[in-house]
Structure 1
Amino acid sequence: MINKQGATRLSVREVTMVATMIAIIIVLGMFPGIPLGFIPVPIVLQNMGVMIAGELLGPKQGSLAVWLFLILVALGLPLLSGGRGGIATMIGPTGGYIVAWVLVPLLIGISLKGVSRHRQPNWVIEYLIVWLFGVLFVDGLGAVWVSAQSHMTMVESLTSSLTFIPGDTIKAVISVILVRRLRRALSYF
């Protein structure tokens, strides 16, 4: 919806979807992260919520949901896995992963719109898009950041980050399965 000044306004349904997505990301953060010991970044479930945001809400509302979530975290609310929050958390070793989260809904949403102009993309295409941006992009940017933040070489950081790929791949599969079912269910309303 566009008002007289040309600004875009969200409908009640869109606001509800964005708020629900923020709540889902928060709930996924209630599961404690699993520390690995050899890399200062735990395994978490919240990145699955970021993937879902891009798939289900698209580039604009998905990005809005993640931005609003991260603003709450920056303000100090302990919404990240393990009850962490604040600016220090966002610029520490996990910062690269968090920075990547900002772009994931945009990249997934734009890519899905590009391949599915008139219909839902097939399962494999959707999965590859989610895996590319929700797993490979996040883990790659996160590894670069970890290398800069800690005293690990780039090779050590990238090698350590490979540990996340299998679990994140499973999260991408779950994300695609959930979103495809949710799209069908939401089309009835």
Structure 2
Amino acid sequence: MLRTALAAALLACAGYAGASWLTDDFQVWTAEGARRLEVALQPVPVPEVRIEGPGLPVQPLAAWLHAPGRVTVVDFIYTRCETLCLSLGGVFQQMQRRLQLGGGGGSGAGDGVRLLSISFDGAHDTPDRLAAYARGLGADPALWQFARVPDAHESAALLRRLQVVVVPDGRGGYEHNAALLVLDAHGRLVRVFDLAEQELALNYARHLAAKGGA
């Protein structure tokens, strides 16, 4: 009996140690959780990619993000999406309304926070299509802009760097993950939030903007 109890205790200790190691001292239980913890501890700079969109001439994404006192909340979408992207659009609509109301303590329109929706379907989502999509969502270009990465290799590099998963569904569309990505004025991904955490994402972005965007 004693031997059995001792063996059980040793197994429990081994299991605890293994779980602790695998989850960074129980801070993480999923791959997505690990991603968020890693980003929070070590911000991720965007790669050298170029974007373009309605009102946005071709330019480096890092240069567009580099604006003192500005923080950007980014999502990834494609205009033909009829599921998850609609939820993302609804979340950004609500965030836009909050920014229009102001009151976050920042400077300028949107309390120093802006929204950017990036299409990963660059071959289809031309600037004209993105403009029509933006109008359908009631996007205010002063707060919420749309862009694509016209070069397919650069687009793939951006998705890899920010760990955005996009998989063709075999029907002309894509399966993809969705999150609210907060990027600072230095062009670094600093936080990742769930769609349901839009208020946390916005409050964090406002806080960061009030500190000068860094």
Q: Fold match, TM over 0.5? A: no
TM-score (norm 2): 0.28
- The higher radius of gyration belongs to 2
Kindly indicate whether structure 1 or structure 2 has the higher relative contact order, using CA contacts under 8 Å at least 6 residues apart: 2
